[in-house]
A and B are shown apart, each in its own frame.
Chain A
Amino acid sequence: MRRAFTSTMSRLLADDERCILLLGDIGVFGFRVIAEKKPASVLNMGILEQAMIGFAAGLAMDGRIPVVHSIAPFIVERCLEQLKIDFGYQQLSGKFVSVGASFDYASLGCTHHCPADIGTLLGIPGMEIVVPGNGEEFNILFTNSYDNGNSTYYRLSETTNVSTQDVSFGKACLLREGTQGTVVAIGPTLDLALNASEHLDVSVIYVTTLRPFDHQALREVTKNLRVFVFEPFYEGTVYPDVLTAFSGLKVGISGKGVPRRFLENYGTRDEHLLDLGFDIGIVRSELEAFFS
């Protein structure tokens, strides 16, 4: 996904004079070619995230499209108030592209984890949230939305799906129809969700835009009010959206997500995924138990 961001962003920087990329001292090498061509449009800001977001708001006030890039916790959690006030409250348009969520930097420890990023950003009215499943999907979703006049958070991670879906900004994709309930897969959890639910008579809906959330698609595809959600971030983050989709009805919800505790082990992302039960065997039996 990071490579996709680098190439798509480089192309937009070359084609669209309004675009300006602010790097939090990461990804600098990847953008060296376009930075040489358009040095005023690619700024390595250094390690001062709060001022970087405020700076981006100033650029947006003058009609630029600022794209801010850093590691997820340093954009979202460190700068929450700048995102809330400078962009949210002022209704300015900025694009925030993070890497590392939720624990790509597993061995670096909890300072570099960010399973709370989405839940945190849901607290900012008007902030759009995009969780692509792979690089190609990022390209589509980013190209769809980079100049839509709103603020948008794009969550990039190393875990990706093998297949690319027919995604578009703000729309969920219906991948399977079934009668026993619905599996909701978010971004990079799709491969696991599809494989683990293959033998079940359930609908599978794929969500890459969490704000705005496609409540209608979820409602329409769900034949039985039981919904199992695959979340690549803290578990339960999108449960309120499931409830909203079925407002006034009793709906059974469960899911597979990142548990709400500090993940104090190191090692690799895959070791963590396994430890947290993101494993086809485990998930298959959880799905069977839920939908039986």
Chain B
Amino acid sequence: MNLKLIRKEILGISSAAREGHIPSAFSILEIVSVLYSNILDVEGIRNGSPERDRFILSKGHGCLALYYILREIGLISGSDLASFCRFDGSLGGHPKRSIVHGIEASTGSLGHGLPIAVGLATSLKQRSSRARVYALIGDGECNEGSVWEAALLASHYELTNLMCIVDYNHSGDRALLLGDLGKKFESFGFTVLDVDGHEINELEIALSHVDQTNPVAVIAHTTKGYGLKTMENNPAWHHASPDDEQLRAFMIELSDHA
């Protein structure tokens, strides 16, 4: 998958639609890409098989990354994407559950995805399915108590088929400092792996980790807006779309760097 090209497309669609959380999408793009390239059983997902692996994007505002990766595997079409955030469009500013599009859960309210993932993993485990469940949450989202309620359940039910990936881009720092998130998950009974969330090789190793006793938390250290210096760690761009002139400049910047 050509992630530089996808970043350009995300900028383009967001600019055209005047909608989208670009820096959040850029923050998770490598993670989502590696999941669908190397980790998940994509064939099962394409068929909507009950035995498919599940990916739940709990931080739903990063959805443009998910939409473009799902296009890469053929579940979302170019015309679906062209309708992004239109009145009658099939794809909105947060994911809406649609198995035909490969979207497992409707998210947008933070703190919902991990509890759902834990329930799903419990059901799969009870029926001895080989399918695995991956939930991607944000560090800001880790302020939500329901995340930690779900973490308690995940370790209590020994959900070795569950992986919680934290997109630790520090966007929550201006409100609450979370400190060592890995230690927190460890104390909740997870096996924790720290990884550079933009390094494909590191991600491939971490995301393929299977633990024999505990659920796994992957703390992915990321940069919000990664790939575009102007946006990186710049809260002003959290929910903003480039105008035509900014778009042209960003396209050039992306061609030169990243």
- The answer on a CB contact under 8 Å between A54 and B112 is yes
Is B146's CB within 8 Å of the partner chain A?
yes
- Nearest CB on A from B227, distance (A): 31
**B-contact 0/1 string along A22-50, CB 8 Å cutoff:** 00000000000000000010000110101
Number of chain B residues close to chain A: CB under 8 A: 30
Is there a chain A Cβ closer than 8 Å to B111's Cβ? yes
Measured in the bound complex, the distance between the Cα atoms of B54 and A20 in whole Å is: 21
Which of B14-22, B122-130, B244-252 lies at the interface?
A: B122-130
**Given A48-B153, A50-B146, residue A61 in contact with residue B112 (CB < 8 A):** no
Q: Is B106 an interface residue (CB 8 A)?
A: yes
Docked-complex contact B116 and A55, CB < 8 angstroms: yes
Contact of A89 among B106, B124, B145 (CB under 8 A): B106
Kindly identify which residue among A51, A57, A62, A81 contacts B124, using a CB–CB cutoff of 8 Å. A62
Would you call B153 and A86 a contact (CB within 8 A)? no
B63 in contact (CB, < 8 A)? no
Q: Identify whether the interface residues of B are mostly helix, strand, loop, or mixed.
A: helix
A40 to B126, Cβ gap below 8 A? yes
Output the least CB separation between B90 and chain A (Å).
Answer: 16
* Contact for B118 among A40, A46, A55, CB less than 8 A: A55
Q: Are B122 and A90 in contact (CB under 8 A)?
A: no
**Which among A40, A61, A63, A82 has the greatest number of chain B C-beta atoms within 10 A?**
A61
- Structural contact, A55 and B106, CB atoms closer than 8 A: no
**Chain A residue at minimum C-beta to C-beta distance from B146:** A50
A59 to B54: give the CA distance in the assembly, Å. 13
Contact indicator A58/B152 (Cβ below 8 Å):
no
Evaluate whether A62 and B109 lie within 8 angstroms (CB atoms) in the complex, with A40-B126, A50-B149 already known.
Answer: no
Q: Is A64 an interface residue (CB 8 A)?
A: yes
Q: Which of chain A's residues has its CB closest to B54's CB?
A: A61
Q: Which B-chain residue is minimally distant from A81 (CB atoms)? A: B109
Interface residues of A in 54-102 (CB under 8 A from B): 54-64, 66, 81-82, 85-86, 89-91
Cβ of A204 under 8 Å from chain B:
no
Question: Do the beta carbons of B116 and A54 come within 8 Å of each other?
Answer: yes
* B105 within 8 Å of A (CB atoms): yes
How far does the Cβ of A121 sit from chain B's closest Cβ, in whole Å?
Answer: 18
Q: Which residues of B contact A40 (CB under 8 A)?
A: 126
* B89 CB–A CB distance under 8 Å: no
Q: B149 near A59 (CB under 8 angstroms)?
A: no
Tell whether, in the assembled complex, residue B120 and residue A61 are in contact, meaning their CB atoms are under 8 Å apart: yes
B120 surroundings in chain A (CB, below 8 A): 58-59, 61-62
Chain A residues with Cβ below 8 Å from B115 are 50-55, 57-58, 82, 86
Q: In the docked arrangement, what's the CA distance between A66 and B116, Å?
A: 12
Contact B112 A55, beta carbon cutoff 8 Å: no
Bound Cα distance A66, B146 (Å): 19
| Residue of chain A at shortest CB distance from B56 | A58
B117:A58 contact, CB within 8 angstroms:
yes
On whether the beta carbons of B112 and A86 are closer than 8 Å, the reply is: yes
B126 near A55 with CB under 8 A, answer: no
What is the minimal beta-carbon distance from B109 to any residue of chain A, in angstroms? Answer: 5
**Cross-interface CB contact of A59 among B96, B104, B123, B152, cutoff 8 Å:** B123
Contact A85 B149 (CB under 8 A): no
Min C-beta distance of A78 to chain B, whole Å: 11
Q: Does B172 contact A (CB under 8 A)?
A: no
B121 at the interface (CB under 8 A from A): yes
Partner of B106, one of A62, A63, A81, A90: A90
Q: Could you say which of A54, A59, A63, A66 contacts B150, with CB atoms under 8 Å apart?
A: A54
Contact check, B111 vs A50: say whether CB atoms are below 8 A apart. Answer: yes
Contacts of A60 in B (CB 8 A): 119
Contact (A64, B112) CB under 8 Å given A54-B146, A55-B118: no
Q: How many Å lie between the Cα of A89 and that of B97 in the bound state?
A: 9
Q: Which of A57, A63, A89 contacts B116 (CB 8 A)?
A: A57
In the bound complex, CA of A61 to CA of B123 (Å): 9
- Alpha-carbon distance between A86 and B112 when the two chains are bound, in angstroms: 8
Q: For residues 174 through 194 of chain A, which have their beta carbon under 8 Å from a beta carbon of chain B?
A: none
Q: Which residue of chain A has its CB nearest to the CB of B144?
A: A50
12 contacts between A and B (CB under 8 A): A48-B152, A52-B115, A54-B112, A54-B118, A54-B146, A54-B150, A58-B117, A58-B118, A81-B109, A82-B146, A85-B106, A86-B112
